[in-house]
Structure 1
Amino acid sequence: MVEELAQADDAVAACVDAAAWSLPEHDLIAALDAAHRLQQRLAAVTLTLVREIDGRGTARAHGASTTAVWLRERLRMTVPAARRLVDLATALDTGHPGIRHALADGAISLDQARVIADTATTVHRTADAETADKAVGVLVEWAGQFDPTMLRRMGTRILDHVAPDLADAAAAAALAADDARATRDRHLTLSTQTDGRLRLTGILDAETAGLLRAAIDPLTAPTGPDDTRSSGQRRHDALADICRLALRTGELPDNGGDPAQIVVTTSYDALTQQLGSGALDVGLQLTPDTVRRLACDAAILPAVLGGAGQVLDVGRQRRLLTGPMRRALVLRDGGCAFPGCDRPPRWCAAHHIRHWADGGPTNLTNSVLLCGHHHRHIHHSKWTIRLGDDGKPEFVPPAWLDPDQLPRRNHYHRRT
């Protein structure tokens, strides 16, 4: 298979720089159809490989918590997209081979295959396997005429065509399935931009969407005729108001042993001279004016850094790996430090690089943040941890995984 895929890769590579402008229109369209068909066939191969990798437990053997997380690191895709790929690979392997065959033939697209699999699963819950197979056949035929959105809409009444006596029950089951998908696909992603701003993307389920609108709508109205903010800017400011209100209640859960709070990092020189620019513990940069404004409205915990970025002092509230020392660890690692993991600090515990039971000290140079999964993995595997020359943690894989045992680092929490 590897050799065949390599030959296919060479063939496709030869087409990348081909002079498409010189093709007659009918050849241009034929080439587009052929490329699309090839894309779907490769998708079928990918699903087969994903299913095998998932079944073997390859992801956990490599230290990842799930196959979706492993795919994110290996193929540079988002976890939600990887999870959908794993789910579809499982569905096509265990219950709907007809969909896989249609995809392998290039008769349907990957998105259409996902819609048909979801619909067939819903039908199977209401009827039997034979009826589900009939539904698959009808939907595959319809896929030649309709895009995934229309196909999903038509699939809600598929039993009208293959089992009319079960149609009403299937409609109720489809509604429940849509709700389950909304619950499964819900997510919120916070992405730090290169200029220090934060980009919010995600999908809210119906209940959460209602809660957000109920909370945000009263705060988005223009404040008067002089309010020149756009509607998007008003929603942004309303979200900030909601966060301030939540922080003021004092009812939020602790975050890694500390109350919910803002931690501002500044340099030693800026602190001794005057409060200058700073950075939040999540890596976002703040202007001097913003820092001064926050100082009037919030309890700021100073984290003082030396010239090389080394943590000199984070207060004297508590000892051990809580309070100030934990905040220093969060500032250094940013989250779970295991390569490829994006778990935030609140999901992490402090791990002794040299175990405490073996005489390892409790300090920053002997500590690293690890999420629950990777904390257990480190204790039961041959991975070793050390601090690099810059004081940042790096992980040496076991020889069976990498014979050269090249050190690896986590790049998801880098601030620069």
Structure 2
Amino acid sequence: MVEALALADEAVAACVDDAVWALAEDELIAALDATHRLEQRLAAVKLALVREIDGRGTAHAQGASSTAVWLRERLRLTISTARRLVDLAAALDTGNPGIRAALANGDITVDQARVIGDTVATVHTSADAQAADKAVGVLIEWAGQFDPTLLRKLGTRILDHVAPEVADAAAQAALEAEARRANRDRHLTLSELSDGRLRLAGILDTETAGLLRAAIDPLSAPSGPDDTRCAGQRRHDALADLCRLTLRTTDLPEHGGDPAQIVVTTTFDTLAGQLGPGTLDTGLHLTPDTVRRLACDAAILPAVLGSAGQPLDVGRQRRLVTGPLRRALVLRDRGCAFPGCDRPPRWCDAHHIRHWADGGTTSLANAVLLCGHHHRHLHHSDWVVRLGGDGHPEFIPPAWLDPDQIPRRNHYHRRT
């Protein structure tokens, strides 16, 4: 297979530099159709490979918490895209082989395959296998005429065509299946932009959408006739107000021994003279004016910083990493330090590099932030963690994974 894919890669590479402007209009359209068909057939191969990797447990063997996380790191995908790949690969493997064959033949797209798989799963809950097979055939035929959105709408009444005797009873099952899909697909993604801002994207289930609207709508109304903010800006400011109100409560869970809070790092000279930005514990940057405003109602904690920016002295030793030491660890690692992990500090535990029971000290030089999965993985695998020459953690993989055992670092939290 690898050799065949290499030949296909060479053939595609040869097309990249072809002068498409020289093609006649019918040739141009034919080339587009052929490219689209090839793209779907390659997707079928990719999904088969993903399914096999997931079934073998390759991701867990290499230290990832899931196949989706492993794919994100390996293929540089977003986590939501990686999850959809894993889910669709499983659906096509366990579902009707007709869907997989249609995709492999280039008769349907990946998005249409996902819709057909979801619809057929609903049919299985209400009718027999024969009706499900018939539904696949009907939906594949419809896929030649309708895009995924229309195909999903038509699929809600597929039983009217393949099993009318159970269609009414299945309407309720379809509604419940839609609720399950909404629960499965719910997510919220925070993407850091190059200038320190965040882009929010996601899908909320119906209940959460109602909660958000109930909380944010009263805060996002225009403040008066002179309010020049657009609707999007008012919703942005309402979300900020909602976060401030929430942080003022005492109901949020603690993180590492501290109440929920935001942490801003700056220097005294910067704070006093408004000379530069401050840095949040998430790595985002704030303007000097914003830092001074936050400092008006904040606890200011001293920390001694080395030339590489690592905190060196934050308080007395103890078995648990809490308080100033926990904050120093967050400032240094900025999240789970295991290579390829993007878990933020609030999801992480402090791991003693040399175990406290073995005489290890509770100090910055003997601690590293790890999420729950990688904390467990490090205790039950041959990975070794140490601090590099610059005082930041690096991980040595086991010999079976990397015979050269070249140290690896986490680049998701690296400061730029």
2: CA distance, partners of 1:58 / 1:339: 16
In structure 2, the partner of 1:292 is 292
Deviation at 1:262, TM superposition (A): 2.2
In structure 2, the partner of 1:279 is 279
Q: Is the 8 A contact 2:271 2:292 kept in 1?
A: no
Aligned length: 416
In structure 2, the partner of 1:309 is 309
Specify whether residues 312 and 388 from structure 1 end up closer, same or farther in structure 2 by C-alpha distance, changes over 3 A only: closer
Deviation at 1:135, TM superposition (A): 0.4
Structure 1's unaligned 5+ residue stretches are: none
Tell me the TM-score normalized by structure 1: 0.95
What residue identity is the alignment partner of 1:194? S
Q: Is the 8 A contact 2:50 2:89 kept in 1?
A: yes
Deviation at 1:226, TM superposition (A): 1.7
In structure 1, the partner of 2:214 is 214
SS at 1:218's partner residue?
coil
1:72-123 CA-partner distances (Å, limit 9, x unpaired): 1111112221111111111111122110000001110000000000000010
> Does residue 1:241 correspond to 2:229, yes or no?
no
1:3-402 matches, cutoff 5 A: 3-267=3-267, 269-270=269-270, 277-301=277-301, 303=303, 305-314=305-314, 320-402=320-402
1:339-374 CA-partner distances (Å, limit 9, x unpaired): 111111122111111222332222111111111111
Q: Is the 8 A contact 2:333 2:392 kept in 1?
A: yes
2: CA distance, partners of 1:333 / 1:131: 55
1:177-222 CA-partner distances (Å, limit 9, x unpaired): 1111111111111222211112211111111111111111111111
Specify whether residues 299 and 351 from structure 1 end up closer, same or farther in structure 2 by C-alpha distance, changes over 3 A only: same
Specify whether residues 389 and 272 from structure 1 end up closer, same or farther in structure 2 by C-alpha distance, changes over 3 A only: farther
Deviation at 1:13, TM superposition (A): 0.6
Give the CA RMSD over aligned residues: 1.9
2: CA distance, partners of 1:258 / 1:89: 42
Tell me the TM-score normalized by structure 2: 0.95
SS at 2:248's partner residue?
helix
1: CA distance, partners of 2:155 / 2:360: 61
1:299-336 CA-partner distances (Å, limit 9, x unpaired): 45455534431214557798741111111111111111
Specify whether residues 28 and 11 from structure 1 end up closer, same or farther in structure 2 by C-alpha distance, changes over 3 A only: same
What residue identity is the alignment partner of 2:252? L
Q: Is the 8 A contact 2:134 2:162 kept in 1?
A: yes
What residue identity is the alignment partner of 2:369? L
Deviation at 1:268, TM superposition (A): 5.3
Specify whether residues 404 and 306 from structure 1 end up closer, same or farther in structure 2 by C-alpha distance, changes over 3 A only: closer
2: CA distance, partners of 1:286 / 1:313: 25
2: CA distance, partners of 1:300 / 1:183: 42
Specify whether residues 301 and 122 from structure 1 end up closer, same or farther in structure 2 by C-alpha distance, changes over 3 A only: farther
Q: Is the 8 A contact 1:301 1:314 kept in 2?
A: no
Deviation at 1:272, TM superposition (A): 7.8
What residue identity is the alignment partner of 2:36? H
2: CA distance, partners of 1:315 / 1:384: 27
Specify whether residues 299 and 200 from structure 1 end up closer, same or farther in structure 2 by C-alpha distance, changes over 3 A only: farther
Specify whether residues 101 and 51 from structure 1 end up closer, same or farther in structure 2 by C-alpha distance, changes over 3 A only: same
More moved, 313-322 vs 81-90: 313-322
What is the percent sequence identity of the aligned residues? 79
SS at 1:386's partner residue?
strand
More moved, 250-259 vs 39-48: 250-259
SS at 2:102's partner residue?
helix
